[in-house]
Structure 1
Amino acid sequence: MPVPFARTLSRIFKRSGIEAGANGRRWAGSPMLANPNSSILSARGPAHKRAAALHVNTPYGSRIVETWTSAIVGKGWQVRSQHPDAEVRRWIGDAFEGLILPILTPLARALVRDGEALVRLSLQTGPDQLRLSLLPCEQLDASLTREQPGAGRIVAGVEFDADDQIVAYHVLPEPPGTAYAPPHRLPARDVLHVFDPLFPGQVRGLSWLAPVLLKLRDRDEASDALLMQLKVASLMTGFVRDPDGGSAGFGDGADGAVNVSLEPGAMRILPPGAEVTFSQPGQGLTQAIDFLRAQDREIAAGVGVTFEQLTGDLGEANYSSARVGLLEFRRRVEMLQRLLIEGQFLRPLWRRWIEAQALAGTIPADQVEDYLPVRFVAPGWQWVDPRNEVEAEVAAINAGLKSREEVVAGRGRDIDDLDAERARDTQAKEATQ
């Protein structure tokens, strides 16, 4: 090997220091995020619009959004007030559940598809003192960014004070494009802004589909192209070749058309040199399907769901692999439920709702502190293996590793409701004996 060429190879493949920060041909053209928060602010608008289009136009886009929505919301959240009076606990919990039930599903769907959900709180007169309105995320004026007097600032419609605390949101009265009107300044206590920050200091949310938007689009187009290729190829049954330019022995029909119809048991004698070949429309389809399946796995990994959840294909799954995948997915769902739904939506809403009830005189104003303690119970999960899981939980309770309340809450049930139902069953059984 010539010496200059060997030196060139050694420079190319030499590894020293931290490779992630090195330069060289292998890093040429690699994307870099110099300022992640600025990049998110500039990308969130196009990403939101593309995600919305893929959600309503593609099977996988819809599947991703609905899978996450159903996992986060399930059959609904339970509210367990910690008020000392049992009747008050039940009344206030049922009232709050009725308030949040209509908005939870569209809120979770917006959170996944758009990357953020915006809920406006407004006081009303009448039995429902607090009104919830889910606003389209584009109504939070992303074009409004400027410095404020007194060291404050507005970033993409979110206003901060000198201490870098959010004090207001600048919301357009109508979505952009419908009618022009200046944004309204809403105090921060009247708006719940729910999103999953990827970087410290992030102001606006990014669609959860962002890592796979381009691949989703390409995958959908590839699937359509393969389908159209198969349809076009299926229109061609066969090809007749005659070196003399004739009908290759098929003859002409009564109307002058060549008779090439196919009938059971039919035989044809072709002249020398004539040839008939038949098309094979499905040829190569198996390799294409395998490639698309590999793309499906990348898409599933990019949005945090399992391959089976994305495609509905359980052909390659077994009990162990399906359970491992579901456990990983549920762990992530529980994290997001706690941080986003409970931390950014339910708890601040509960405090504001209790305050509104006190202002309306529904609860005593001097006893607000008794009404504030609350516990939110996320929707439970269905059993993968009911018998083994129940036996494991019973063993954990008997060993003192879990409480009945913890196990019941993990199934999305209220232990007080369960005990009341069991007491009624016992009474009914005793009455029949």
Structure 2
Amino acid sequence: MFDRIKSTVSRAVLSVVASYDAGGSGRRMRGWNAPSTGPNRAISLAPKVRDRSRDAARNDWTASAGSQRWVTNLIGTGIVPRAKRIKDKAKKEAAAALWDRWTAQSDADCVLNFYAQEALVTRSWIESGEVFARLRWRRKGSMEVPLQVQVIESDFVPQLDTDSWPGLPVGNKIRQGIEIDRLGARVAYWIYKAHPTDFAAGNINISQLVRVPADEMLHVFEPKRPGQLRGVAEFASVLARLRNVADFDDAVLERQKIANLFAAFVEKQVPTAPDGINPITGEAVQTEADGTPVVAMQPGISQELLPGEKVVFSNPPEAGTTYSEYMRTQHLATAAGQGVPYELLSGDIINVSDRTLRVVIQEFRRFVEQRQWHVIIPMFCQKVRDAWVDQAVLVGALPMSIADDAKAVEWAPHGWQYIHPVQDVQGKQMEVAAGFRSRSSVIAQQGDDAEHTDVERAADLKREEELGLPTAPVQGANGPAGDNSGGVSPGQYPDSKKAKK
């Protein structure tokens, strides 16, 4: 008897287990049918999303502004390499000069320099979800470093899935246009010889595709799931909203156009005879070609109506008092979906304090830096630099002894502008004076080279002394004029000997 009761209680306890409401099938969740597709099957419609995203960037101001904000903040004037590990000053300056000369010739299309290519790659990635770049080796003697970079749209790599293809090595397979070996590593890309819309649509055949080894192709995208091979446009989550908001805005605009029309309608209470003669006046009724009665409307006219006629003016609906608030709410959601602060996307900073704006901008900058160091720099900038060094060493433009150090560069993104110039500079002065950071890190954060800054400062000081110019004192943070310690004098720190005494 006791065992039976114990068994019943155990079953009752086991029937009540912890669970997630989102995983239930009750009334609220019954209609939520979430497919369990894999990371690559889920993006099977990525080409259609890509086309719509590009169309939105061309025709919708919010998509265009979002793309531009990302390019401006991710790249600015360019992400520049600093060869910090090359100790020999002459070799370091020679390598930097060689790189600077090459950046003007880096584009295989002979249009942009390398830093403008960074911007183009970023824009294509944001709008299309991904972008490719092909390393083009040139003949020795045609360039100082015979290498160029060709930026290729994602359309060039088709959504091709097959286990057998002419020229495909045994054991390899093609997924999403990318050739993968048995270990899952990327070994090649199958790309069109020309943009696919330049020839008639049809089945993909071997004559249209070429196999490019993976070490000659750069693929820039941001995977959102493990194992994802291709990228999806940044606007994917907001495209439907952008379309609906644009349709709503157009409808309101047309309604306002109609409301601005001064329209009047004549109501006749006395019907006309079938022969078109007014029974009261005996005159013919003026009509259009289709027989519709018409009354001429002219500016400032005073029209005397016939007996039985009256004028009724149109009264179309207005836009409503909630239009602006509705549009602002929709743009807030659009900005959030693009990862851009609403204030930066729209330029609307009404009723936003400087402290609030500072918090918003700092959070956005953290996101920007994440994408710089997770996507742009490792997937594009560093790979181009590695190929450039290899080619420069191969043709004798760089010595072999500094090849590894020339590759191990520090990438310096375009520095951020101060939000509060005085307060921000004073805060950094105090950090340097307190030993919390180095002066070089402050300069590097602004996108400048500390060594070049010191050389420029020394040159300025020498020139001022030669010309007999007075040297302006530096106002420290909370300190007197000429005190460059940031307002903190030695001995003020608790761990200093003077403070201990």
After TM superposition, is the score higher than 0.5? Answer: yes
3-state SS of paired residue (2:419): coil
**Inter-partner Cα distance in structure 2 for 1:117 and 1:157:** 13
Give a deviation string over 1:391-412, Cα, whole Å, max 9, x none: 1111111111121121111111
Identify unmatched segments of 5+ residues in structure 1.
1-13, 247-254
AA paired with 1:154? I
Q: 1:240 to 1:324 in 2, by over 3 A?
A: farther
- Which residue is equivalent to 1:114? 128
1:262 Cα shift? 5.1
In the alignment, which residue of structure 1 is the partner of 2:497? none
Superposition TM-score, scaled by structure 1 size:
0.86
Q: Deviations over 1:221-240 (max 9, x none)?
A: 21111111111111135667
Contact 2:270 2:308 in 1 (8 A): no
User: Are the counterparts in 2 of residues 120 and 191 from structure 1 also a CA contact under 8 Å?
Assistant: yes
Asked whether the 8 Å contact 1:130–1:356 carries over to 2, the reply is yes
| Contact 1:48/1:114 (<8 A) preserved | yes
Change (3 A) 1:174 1:67: same
Distance in 2 between the 1:260 and 1:175 partners?
57
Q: Is 1:236–2:262 an aligned residue pair?
A: yes
* Displacement after TM superposition at 1:24 (Å): 2.5
1:160 maps to: 180
* Correspondences of 1:340-419 after superposition (within 5 Å): 340-419=375-454
Aligned length: 409
1:204 aligns with 2:239: no
Change (3 A) 1:428 1:366: closer
Instruction: Give the equivalent residue in structure 2 for 1:19.
Output: 21
Distance of aligned partners of 1:422 and 1:242 in 2 relative to their CA distance in 1, 3 Å threshold:
farther
5+ long unaligned stretches in structure 2: 1-15, 107-113, 201-206, 273-285, 287-293, 469-501
User: Compared with structure 1, are the counterparts of its residues 230 and 105 closer, same or farther at alpha carbon in structure 2 (3 Å cutoff)?
Assistant: same
Would the aligned equivalents of 1:153 and 1:160 in 2 still touch at CA under 8 Å?
Answer: yes
TM-score by length of 2: 0.75
Which residue in the other structure is 1:92 paired with?
Answer: 95
Answer yes or no: is 1:133 the counterpart of 2:168: no
Structure 1 residues 95 and 326, CA, compared in 2 at 3 Å: closer, same or farther? farther
Contact 1:168/1:187 (8 A) holds in 2: yes
Closer/same/farther in 2, CA of residues 304 and 161 from structure 1, 3 Å limit: same
Matched, 1:42 2:44: yes
**Segment drifting more, 34-43 vs 319-328:** 34-43
Q: Does 1:124 align with 2:132?
A: no
**Partner amino acid for 2:70?**
W
- Residue 69 of structure 1 aligns with which residue? 71
Amino acid in the other structure paired with 1:206: V
**2:264, 2:311 within 8 Å by CA — same for their partners in 1?**
no
Mapped to 2, the partners of 1:31 and 1:289 lie a distance apart of: 35
Whole-Å separation in 2 of the counterparts to 1:395 and 1:136: 48
| Residue number in structure 2 paired with 1:189 | 215
Deviation of 1:273 (Å): 11
Q: Give the aligned CA root-mean-square deviation in angstroms.
A: 3.0
Deviation at 1:277, TM superposition (A): 5.5
Question: 1:242 deviation in Å?
Answer: 7.8
| 310-319 or 207-216, larger mean C-alpha shift | 310-319
Letter in 1 for 2:189: Y
The amino acid of 2:463's aligned partner reads: A
Q: Displacement, 1:130? A: 0.8
Structure 2 Cα separation of the partners of residues 324 and 358 of structure 1: 47
Q: 2 CA distance for matches of 1:412 and 1:195?
A: 25
Aligned-partner residue type, residue 114 of structure 1: S
Cα separation, 1, equivalents of 2:250 and 2:119: 31
Answer yes or no: is the 8 Å Cα contact 1:141–1:157 preserved in 2: yes
Question: What code does the residue aligned with 2:29 have?
Answer: W
Q: Distance in 2 between matches of 1:359 and 1:217?
A: 52
Indicate the residue corresponding to 1:213 in structure 2.
239
* In 2, Cα distance between equivalents of 1:259 and 1:376: 71
The aligned residue for residue 249 of structure 1 is: none
C-alpha spacing 1:179/1:278, structure 2 compared with 1 (3 Å): closer
Q: Specify the alignment match of 2:359 in structure 1.
A: 324
Deviates more, 1:43-52 or 1:150-159: 150-159
**Identity of matched residues, %:** 27
- Deviation (angstroms), 1:91: 3.5
Q: 1:276: how far off?
A: 6.1
Question: Which stretch of structure 1 is more off in the superposition, 236-245 or 59-68?
Answer: 236-245
> 1:171·1:186 contact (CA, 8 Å) conserved in 2?
yes
Deviations 1:259-304 (A, max 9, x none): 78559xx9x9xx99967667476x3433122111111111111010
One-letter identity of the residue aligned with 1:235: L
For the 8 Å contact 1:84–1:370, the answer to whether it is kept is no
Aligned residue type for 1:166 = R
Change (3 A) 1:123 1:262: same
Amino acid at match of 2:20: I
Using the TM superposition, name which of 78-87 and 382-391 deviates more: 78-87
Q: How does 1:207-286 map to 2 (within 5 A)?
A: 207-236=233-262, 279=315, 283-286=318-321
CA drift of 1:93 comes to 3.0
Tell me if structure 2 keeps the 8 A contact 1:152–1:164: no
Change over 3 Å in CA distance of 1:208–1:259 after alignment to 2: closer
Instruction: Give yes or no for contact 1:397–1:404 (8 Å, CA) kept in 2.
Output: yes
Looking at secondary structure, tell me which structure has more helix per residue.
Answer: 1
Q: Distance in 2 between matches of 1:419 and 1:299?
A: 45
Q: How far is the alpha carbon of 1:257 from its aligned partner? A: 5.6
Q: Which of 196, 219, 233 is the matching residue for 1:176?
A: 196
Alpha-carbon distance in 2 for matches of 1:46, 1:31: 22
| Matched position secondary structure for 2:45 | helix
**3-state secondary structure, aligned to 2:196:** coil
CA distance in 1, matches of 2:397, 2:251: 62
